[in-house]
């Protein structure tokens, strides 16, 4: 009996000690958890502060510290993805938003952010898929409707694009983003009067809305109102003097108006802000071609191509062809397209480049343009095709056929296309 009592007491003591140890372990666990939570919150606060201050590079570094130490922190993956999106690291942004979505598949912000990054990465189908998912979870989300609409427009679904933007306007008729995007779609369709009306409506809602000033300005330029265009675009630049797009658009208006010296001055200002902008090099090439600086134009088009702009390849080849160097034009195409993936090289305007190289006939090029089932996209492609066919015919001194081709380009009424305006210049030089 005594033995039993002793064993019983010993077991009680051991059990009590076990409970004490367990309690201490729980206390230590909770303390460590609390310390880790505090540390994570401290690191996140630091990253958010950098982001708020506009130091996106620092924010990326700080969010990286969080995801390395606390990889289950969804907000850190999202934060780094958003910072990468702003710094134009679109592939990195897609990866980070994807990691955030692995943790929370219904995070609308991550879905929307990944869609935006895919859009910038020219993955329109992927972007549309992400915006579809956002709209499944929240059917009237205006930002997703606008973004999906723009992605559909680029993906050759102009009807779907307009339907999305109009849906967004039904949800909120005073959404300035939706009105702006409606104006943009009208520009693409050649309805410049309607586009100008849209941008004017936006400016009544927000008189200092820079994007609407820029949109109305460039629409006015396409419509031949250079004075009105310059007023709008100059006002936009004064409100946002560090935005390259403002200078590019004002330069475009000046190109259309034939003021090449002022256009080049604006492009020089754009270059000072961003020396790696493909559109700046491209428009410098257009201006230099117009004023007869052929060698400079070719180099600028080549630089645009190196930065990923496929039309740089087309135009560098076109200038060589105009100068009677079809062999060099073919080399421009071969070397230029080799910088891109096979898939990108095959996409539009790849067929135009192949035509300038001599690998496609006129009939084959027209057939490529007509493959599009979207009316808006098809007319745009035909505008470009007829113009470059006209240049080729002019280079061969077949002026009668060249004139007909330039007339066909203008007849498409794609006034927002560079080739439309260049075809008008060519016809003007032919005395028409």
C-beta of residue 69 within 8 angstroms of C-beta of residue 37: no
Vertex 349 angle, CA 343 and 354, to 5°: 85
C-beta of residue 82 within 8 angstroms of C-beta of residue 49: no
How far from 177 is each of 137, 181, 203, CA to CA, in Å? 21, 6, 11
Ranges of residues in the chain whose predicted pLDDT is under 70: 1-37, 39, 432
Residue 5 to residue 15: CA distance in whole angstroms: 15
Structure tokens at 120: 């910038």
Structure tokens at 38: 């505090």
Residue 72 to residue 223: CA distance in whole angstroms: 54
Residue 128 to residue 205: CA distance in whole angstroms: 29
Residue 310 to residue 333: CA distance in whole angstroms: 10
Residue 240 to residue 294: CA distance in whole angstroms: 33
How far from 42 is each of 38, 48, 82, 428, CA to CA, in Å? 6, 10, 19, 66
Mention every residue, 6+ apart, whose C-beta is less than 8 A from residue 316: 285, 297, 298, 301, 302, 305, 332, 336
Backbone dihedral angles phi then psi of residue 227, each to the nearest 5 degrees = -60, -50
Question: Which has the closest alpha carbon to 314: 363, 368, 357, 364?
Answer: 357
Question: Which has the closest alpha carbon to 100: 76, 84, 126?
Answer: 76
Q: What is the pLDDT of residue 86?
A: 93
Q: What is the pLDDT of residue 42?
A: 86
Residue 255 to residue 215: CA distance in whole angstroms: 17
Per-residue pLDDT of 20-39, as tens digits, reads 556 566 554 554 445 556 76
Residue 31 to residue 41: CA distance in whole angstroms: 15
């Amino acid at each position: 009996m005594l033995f039993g009592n002793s064993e019983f007491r010993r077991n009680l003591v051991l059990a009590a000690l076990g409970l004490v140890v367990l309690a201490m372990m729980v206390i230590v666990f909770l303390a460590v958890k609390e310390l880790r939570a505090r540390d994570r919150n401290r690191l996140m606060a630091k990253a958010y502060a950098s982001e708020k201050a506009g130091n996106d590079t620092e924010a990326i570094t700080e969010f990286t510290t969080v995801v390395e130490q606390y990889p289950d922190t969804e907000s850190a993956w999202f934060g780094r993805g958003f910072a990468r999106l702003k710094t134009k690291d679109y592939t990195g942004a897609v990866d980070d938003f994807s990691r955030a979505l692995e943790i929370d598949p219904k995070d609308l912000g991550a879905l929307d952010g990944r869609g935006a990054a895919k859009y910038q990465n020219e993955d329109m189908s992927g972007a549309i898929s992400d915006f579809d998912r956002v709209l499944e979870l929240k059917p009237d989300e205006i930002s997703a409707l606008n973004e999906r609409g723009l992605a559909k427009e680029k993906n050759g679904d102009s009807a779907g694009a307009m339907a999305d933007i109009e849906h967004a306007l039904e949800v909120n008729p005073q959404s300035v983003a939706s009105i702006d995007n409606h104006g943009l779609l009208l520009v693409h369709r050649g309805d410049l009067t309607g586009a100008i009306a849209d941008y004017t409506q936006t400016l009544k809602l927000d008189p200092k809305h820079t994007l609407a000033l820029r949109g109305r300005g460039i629409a006015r330029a396409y419509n031949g109102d250079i004075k009105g265009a310059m007023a709008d675009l100059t006002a936009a630049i004064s409100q946002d003097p560090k935005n390259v797009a403002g200078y590019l658009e004002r330069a475009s208006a000046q190109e259309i108006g034939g003021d090449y010296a002022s256009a080049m001055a604006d492009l020089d200002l754009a270059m000072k802000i961003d020396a790696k902008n493909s559109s700046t090099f491209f428009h410098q090439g257009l201006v230099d071609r117009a004023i007869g600086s052929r060698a400079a134009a070719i180099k600028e088009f080549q630089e645009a191509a190196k930065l990923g702009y496929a039309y740089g390849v087309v135009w560098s080849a076109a200038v060589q062809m105009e100068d009677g160097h079809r062999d060099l034009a073919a080399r421009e195409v071969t070397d230029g397209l080799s910088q891109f993936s096979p898939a990108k090289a095959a996409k539009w305007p790849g067929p135009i480049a192949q035509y300038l190289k001599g690998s496609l006939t006129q009939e084959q090029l027209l057939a490529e343009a007509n493959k599009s089932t979207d009316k808006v996209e098809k007319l745009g492609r035909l505008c470009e095709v007829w113009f470059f066919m006209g240049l080729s015919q002019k280079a061969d001194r077949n002026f009668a056929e060249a004139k007909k081709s330039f007339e066909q380009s203008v007849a498409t009424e794609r006034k927002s296309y560079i080739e439309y305006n260049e075809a008008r210049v060519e016809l003007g030089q032919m005395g028409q």
